[in-house]
Amino acid sequence: MGALPEGDIAPTDGALTDAARASRAPLSAYVHIPFCRVRCGYCDFNTYTNDELHGARRDDYAEHVLREIELATSVLDCGRERPLRTVFFGGGTPTLLPARDLLRVLSRLRDELGMVDGAEVTVEANPDSVDARYLGDLAHGGVTRVSFGVQSAVPHVLATLDRTHSPERVPDVVSWAKDAGLDVSVDLIYGTPGESLDDWRASLESTLALDIGHVSAYALIVEEGTALARRIRRGEIAAPDDDLVADMYELADEAFAEAGYHWYELSNWARGAREQSRHNTAYWLNHDWWGFGPGAHSHVGGVRWWNVKHPSAYGQRVLAGESPAAARETPDVEARRLETILLQLRLATGVALQDVSEFAAERARGLAVEGLLDVDALSHGSLVLTLRGRLLADRVVRDLTD
């Protein structure tokens, strides 16, 4: 797991600046559930198996998050005047907790901070961590959307990723979720060592057969310190091939488009605007959110902070009535301008030309000539990536910000 960034000392009471508290940007909540049955070889998220909890208990976790909600209510001090627009339970595997624990947290968020009518409430789940009753309980308690971590439909690819579910179970859990009235998204990963283009095509076809509204497809990133990185370093498996990974992205984009899905973010496709992830879009638009749980990051009114990583340290702080923040920062105007380019360029709506510097605007014209930015969009005042630009998005960002 990666180390937390450095930053300024965070006040123990979690107090924000007057300017941050005055923010009225749309507000969301992220709730981190840091538990997993096994650690996937590619994962460097802040998650813990039973052997790594060192005194922390899953049974106590919901109560700890409720304490941080009390802190957020006090710090934000906006009553129900700024209700949550989205809530996202991520992990880890949130569904390792009983549904009643997730719903206790959701109920407290609703009671303390308020929620808009029609708020999007998402829970991430592994296909082998839920059944029909569990999904029905979530829907009955106010969850609107479930995101299944499927990753692949090919057994040998799942084995390389250390995923524990069977591909045959995926249609069942998707069917149960639909029967419960939940919107469904599926997460896929491509570029796994040993995965062929035909393997990836099989995963795409299997996913499209599920008849769902939203799909995320992420290129595998080999993170230092993970088991997968160690296996590659020892020569046991080959590193992902960049050219093959690009071919996989193009294949996915073509398959999704033919099936009626539209890309709205580099790694996300939806059948329509209603099916898009409003929560993740809030991140890309740099809205405000409070991240609850160990290692969770928050952003309110230009102030960013991140919580201590281990569940034990997190629990000790919130039970003592203290903020669990490890550190925080307040990016300056230039840093926020760079963030705007970095985040909003990922979106199909792009970045408004008026929001970038004259230097970036001049660079944008050259990138359009190269076929990396959409010429028509640029003529109408927006920087929007072409398909080729999406494949070279990191380079485009560097050219606009260096």
- Please name which of 329, 336, 301 lies closest in space to residue 9, comparing C-alpha atoms: 329
- Please name which of 5, 3, 67 lies closest in space to residue 305, comparing C-alpha atoms: 5
Buried-exposed string 288-320: b where 16+ CB fall within 10 A, e elsewhere: bbbbbbbbbbbbbbbbbbbbbbbbbbbbbbbee
For residue 117, how many other CB atoms are within 10 A of its CB? 5
- Position of tokens 């990963």? 189
CA distance 60 to 295: 17
CA distance 281 to 346: 10
| The pair of three-digit structure tokens given for residue 251, joined into one six-digit string | 């294949």
pLDDT at position 397: 95
pLDDT at position 37: 84
Count, residues in the chain: 402
CA distance 37 to 345: 36
CA distance 187 to 175: 16
pLDDT band at 236 (very low <50, low <70, confident <90, very high): very high
Contact at 8 Å (CB) between 351 and 344?
Answer: yes
Q: 388 CB contacts (<8 Å, ≥6 apart)?
A: 371, 372
Model confidence pLDDT, tens digit, residues 363-390 = 999 999 999 999 999 999 999 999 999 9
DSSP structure string for 206-225: HHHTT--SEEEEEE----TT
pLDDT band at 393 (very low <50, low <70, confident <90, very high): very high
Contact at 8 Å (CB) between 176 and 131?
Answer: yes
Model confidence pLDDT, tens digit, residues 63-116 = 999 999 999 999 998 767 899 999 999 999 999 999 999 999 999 999 999 999
Q: How many angstroms from the chain centroid is the CA of residue 258? A: 26
| The pair of three-digit structure tokens given for residue 52, joined into one six-digit string | 């790594």
pTM for this predicted structure: 0.95
Model confidence pLDDT, tens digit, residues 303-347 = 999 999 999 999 999 999 999 999 999 999 889 889 999 999 999
Model confidence pLDDT, tens digit, residues 38-64 = 878 888 788 888 777 777 788 999 999
CA distance 21 to 311: 27
Contact at 8 Å (CB) between 181 and 139?
Answer: yes
* Region for 398 from its dihedrals, namely left if φ exceeds 0, alpha if ψ lies in -120 to 50, beta otherwise: alpha
Domains of the chain: 18-284 (3.20.20.70), 333-402 (1.10.10.920)
Q: 119 CB contacts (<8 Å, ≥6 apart)?
A: 83, 84, 85, 86, 87, 144
- Please name which of 75, 8, 5, 18 lies closest in space to residue 328, comparing C-alpha atoms: 8
- Please name which of 172, 173, 161, 165 lies closest in space to residue 199, comparing C-alpha atoms: 161
pLDDT band at 1 (very low <50, low <70, confident <90, very high): low
| pLDDT, averaged across the chain | 94
CA distance 44 to 260: 33
The three-class DSSP label of residue 289 is strand
Contact at 8 Å (CB) between 5 and 327?
Answer: yes
Q: 242 CB contacts (<8 Å, ≥6 apart)?
A: none
